Amino acid sequence: MTNSILIKGVALDERCQDVLIVDNVIEKIGDSIVFEAHKVIDGSGKTLIPGFVNMHTHAAMTLMRGIGEDMHLKEWLYKKIWPIEKKLDDELVYWGTKLAALEMIKSGTTCFNDQYWNLDAAVKASAEMGIRSVQPFVILDLGDKSKWSKIKEECYSAWERSKLWGPRNRFAIGIHSPYSVSEEMLVWGTNFARERGLLVHIHVSETEGENRDSVDLHGVSPTKYLDRVGVLGPDIIAAHCLWMDDEDIEIFSKRDVKVVHNINSNLKIASGYRFRYNEFRDAGVTVTLGTDGCASSNNLDMIETMKTTALVQKAWREDPTAMPLDELLNLATKNGGLALGINCGEVKEGYLADLSIIDTNSIAFTPNINFKANLVYSANSSCVDTVICDGKVLMEGRRVDGEREILDNVNRLYKKLL
Amino acid sequence: MTNSILIKGVALDERCQDVLIVDNVIEKIGDSIVFEAHKVIDGSGKTLIPGFVNMHTHAAMTLMRGIGEDMHLKEWLYKKIWPIEKKLDDELVYWGTKLAALEMIKSGTTCFNDQYWNLDAAVKASAEMGIRSVQPFVILDLGDKSKWSKIKEECYSAWERSKLWGPRNRFAIGIHSPYSVSEEMLVWGTNFARERGLLVHIHVSETEGENRDSVDLHGVSPTKYLDRVGVLGPDIIAAHCLWMDDEDIEIFSKRDVKVVHNINSNLKIASGYRFRYNEFRDAGVTVTLGTDGCASSNNLDMIETMKTTALVQKAWREDPTAMPLDELLNLATKNGGLALGINCGEVKEGYLADLSIIDTNSIAFTPNINFKANLVYSANSSCVDTVICDGKVLMEGRRVDGEREILDNVNRLYKKLL
């Protein structure tokens, strides 16, 4: 017997409709659906949207929320983050990822693209929480040849183990960045992924200094260097991409590289803010949004990410019509699905049932003249009432099973990192 | 019999203490206060902070939330805001201000500096809600001499009526801006205020265009023009001040003018983002924060305002140490009290009991390594559990009396504006 959910009379595309989910797919959308569903959800006073796709995060960094504030990047990395990361173990990453998944579910995110350590623990946590994820094995050698054989061996082994993962968690390759990974391993990792049809998640041109260093070392920008060594292609998810010239954007367009913009992190550590969204869009590049990890951006809230993204685009372009609401919402939903090659991010028949139900019976939606404007500019994530992922209800009336246990365990464990 | 509240074991300055409120004042802060209070609040798992002071808003514009999105400023003003404002009446402003006060209470704001029409209706709403406010009579003549006698007459009459207002609502003069009010009325309004010890609330240098126009018309910047005609002084609350050169800042410093920064509104309508906080601070100018009205910034959330303020300061100054947390929190609390000459904005014995209690038993505060970082960068306003203003509990466990009635009335009435 397959699972089924009928959402009755929920606002969708400016009118109330019924939505039927069978198994993990949106089976039917219509004015009055008659079906004996296992579960019926009353959608009155609520609006249905696709679940958000958080395209760049380091999930278990929830453990380090607020650990290094108002600091310069190098001090932050050397004195705070790297010493702490040496203390990570499976138990910490498991509970840190559980907290991240909980936080994402409570703010309407149904899928995330991770990049962190202790992969098996992260996948176990994600799988138990019911959220969809792409989980990479991370390659980071800092130019040290002696690490290569161990990295390769571990990568093969992780790939083998990933065959036992459930359907919602997909294996990928994470290449930290062109500046922290040798050319040999960049190429090896990309080829490993291509031979198996996997995505590659990589940081590109996050800071101006990174670009300067690339020119010093390779004679060209990170993008041109990555293209020269054959890394770029439609399977590449490039995070940040803040410092891109016209030629770089043209290369991304030609290679169909996917881009993740992470504005809160970029602002907070002062990496930059002039993300060239219009130029990427006009070149046909798929642009998506991410929160980055909680060590740099402090939360995993995609509604807040949408708001800051649009505000900063309007301001730096000196154009209040920049980043209109329809485009903005697509970046946070549909484009994430496109970039990951997952059939999610839209409320349409045949799509995966990865959905959020927004409660509009609140101050933030009063008056409710413009739902999208209210969602992005007026509300915060406490407006997310119900979350369905892969056809299963993960949150209803803001209650998620096991929330208390997760907070208690993180509060017990994080002190090991200090 | 005076009112008294004892808050037991609440986190304050990084340890748990008791706080006793008698009448409307913080009477005592100590480790273990024994007192037969009328009301005892359990502060365990919670942190006490001063209520926020929202230093620039147009409260009843909650009615226009989301009414004009992604539009150029002139189109927005001429096609949306001004035609709509002609339809305002006392009933609309009353319920719009009620909604604004409700929204502010629910996000931890206990005092706001307003500037809008239908003054008596706004004051009635604020007084009923129990929030503290400064409510100006607004002067706006668009250079039309024929309006002067009516404006003066109405101002005298409003001033007389204000003597019957309760203690929490203070009368002030609102002069819309140097570009929309004749020199004669600028001077008249300022003198009217000075003769009576009132504050003056004015928009200054919100856009680059305003500065250009001022140079064309007066030969100097808005600040230099206002100084030349004798308007500037310690009673002036100047909103925006985005386009200020070193001389302008020096003049503000010399005249002790108070400044309100409204980042979300500035970003959204693309007025600018390079607010010169460090320069104002170093010149000894009192800088405060505001949300602006909901027609431009969509909500009245001071936690969000703090977050965007800090992120944008760090980014445009290219310095992640810019706007440290302690300074940021002062801008949103203590500096507002200083600017308004109200003994609020600090949790100290002898100060007004205008307080918020934050629930830290949640995802946003897990782990709670750094409360201030979690409040600003991780949480949203749903973390505000209890709000006390003028010694009275306005919200407890996120419940405010009459919330449903306010939403229903706004939903019934806003259509009159469309």
**B342-398 per-position pLDDT tens digit:** 999 999 999 999 999 999 999 999 999 999 999 999 999 999 999 999 999 999 999
Q: What residue of B is the nearest CA neighbor of A74?
A: B320
Q: Which residues of A touch B380 (CB under 8 A)?
A: 301, 304, 380-382
For residue range B62-79, what is the model confidence (pLDDT) as tens digits? 999 999 999 988 888 888
For residue range A334-387, what is the model confidence (pLDDT) as tens digits? 999 999 999 999 999 999 999 999 999 999 999 999 999 999 999 999 999 999
For residue range A236-286, what is the model confidence (pLDDT) as tens digits? 999 999 999 999 999 999 999 999 999 999 999 999 999 999 999 999 999
Question: Is the bond leading into A324 cis (omega within 30 degrees of zero)?
Answer: no
pLDDT recorded at residue A10? 98
For residue range B83-122, what is the model confidence (pLDDT) as tens digits? 999 999 999 999 999 999 999 999 999 999 999 999 999 9
In degrees rounded to 5, what are phi and psi of residue B234? Answer: -70, -10
Q: A63-77, A303-317, A355-369, B34-48: which range is least confident on average?
A: A63-77
pLDDT exceeds 70 at position A110: yes
Sign of the dihedral through C-alpha A76, A77, A79, A83 = positive
**Which domains, and CATH codes, for chain A?**
4-50+354-403 (2.30.40.10), 52-340 (3.20.20.140)
- Radius of gyration (Cα) for chain A, nearest Å? 21
Question: Is the bond leading into A136 cis (omega within 30 degrees of zero)?
Answer: no
pLDDT bin (cut points 50, 70, 90) of residue A1 is low
For residue A200, list its beta bridge partners: A173, A236
In degrees rounded to 5, what are phi and psi of residue B387? Answer: -130, 130
What are the residues whose beta carbons fall under 8 Å from the beta carbon of A263, sequence distance 6 or more?
A273, A275, A289, A305, A308, A309, A312
In degrees rounded to 5, what are phi and psi of residue A163? Answer: -65, -15
Region B247-255 average pLDDT = 98
Cβ of B76 and A320 within 8 Å? yes
pLDDT bin (cut points 50, 70, 90) of residue B274 is very high
pLDDT bin (cut points 50, 70, 90) of residue B181 is very high
Ramachandran bin of B348, using left for φ above 0, alpha for ψ from -120 to 50, beta for the remaining angles: beta
In degrees rounded to 5, what are phi and psi of residue A291? Answer: -100, -20
Residue with tokens 């460090």: B278
Cβ of A273 and B317 within 8 Å? no
Cβ of B102 and A66 within 8 Å? no
Closest CB from A73, A311, A407 relative to B363: A407
Residue of A168, A155, A167, A165 whose CA lies nearest to A195: A155
Q: Which of B106, B263, B291, B377 best tests the A interface by mutation, with the highest count of A CBs <10 A?
A: B377
pLDDT bin (cut points 50, 70, 90) of residue B211 is very high
Cβ of A65 and B299 within 8 Å? no
Q: Which of A105, A243, A266, A311 best tests the B interface by mutation, with the highest count of B CBs <10 A?
A: A311
The C-alpha atoms of residue A318 and residue B23 are separated, in whole angstroms, by 49
- Asked whether the beta carbons of B54 and B111 are under 8 A apart, the reply is yes
Cβ of A320 and B73 within 8 Å? yes
The C-alpha atoms of residue B306 and residue A323 are separated, in whole angstroms, by 23
pLDDT recorded at residue B305? 98
Closest CB from B99, B315, B361 relative to A366: B99
Three-class SS of B70-121: CCCHHHHHHHHHHHHHCCCCHHHHHHHHHHHHHHHHHCCEEEEECCCCCHHH
Cβ of A366 and B322 within 8 Å? no
Q: Which residues of B touch A278 (CB under 8 A)?
A: none
Q: Which residues of A touch B71 (CB under 8 A)?
A: 320-321
What are the residues whose beta carbons fall under 8 Å from the beta carbon of B383, sequence distance 6 or more?
B303, B358, B359, B360, B362, B364, B365, B375
Q: What residue of B is the nearest CA neighbor of A364?
A: B299
C-alpha distances in Å from residue A307, one per residue of A198, A263, A380, A381: 31, 10, 10, 11
Residue of B220, B187, B166 whose CA lies nearest to B390: B166
Tokens (6 digits) for A399: 């209650």
Cβ of A308 and B304 within 8 Å? no
Q: Which residues of A touch B294 (CB under 8 A)?
A: 378
Residue with tokens 């579910």: A105
Q: Which residues of A touch B410 (CB under 8 A)?
A: 366-367
- Asked whether the beta carbons of B50 and B344 are under 8 A apart, the reply is yes
Cβ of B377 and A319 within 8 Å? no
Cβ of A363 and B297 within 8 Å? no
Q: Which residues of A touch B381 (CB under 8 A)?
A: 380
pTM comes to 0.98
Closest CB from B315, B366, B378 relative to A267: B315
DSSP state string for B237-262: EEEE--S--HHHHHHHHHHT-EEEE-
Query: A143 to chain B nearest CA, in Å?
Result: 28
Mean pLDDT (chain A) is 97
The C-alpha atoms of residue B52 and residue B335 are separated, in whole angstroms, by 10
pLDDT exceeds 70 at position B230: yes
- Asked whether the beta carbons of B262 and B298 are under 8 A apart, the reply is no
Query: B296 to chain A nearest CA, in Å?
Result: 10
Q: Which of A14, A67, A70, A80 best tests the B interface by mutation, with the highest count of B CBs <10 A?
A: A70
The C-alpha atoms of residue A170 and residue A231 are separated, in whole angstroms, by 21
pLDDT recorded at residue B1? 60
Q: What is the ipTM of this complex?
A: 0.97
Residue with tokens 């169909």: A256
- Asked whether the beta carbons of A272 and A208 are under 8 A apart, the reply is yes
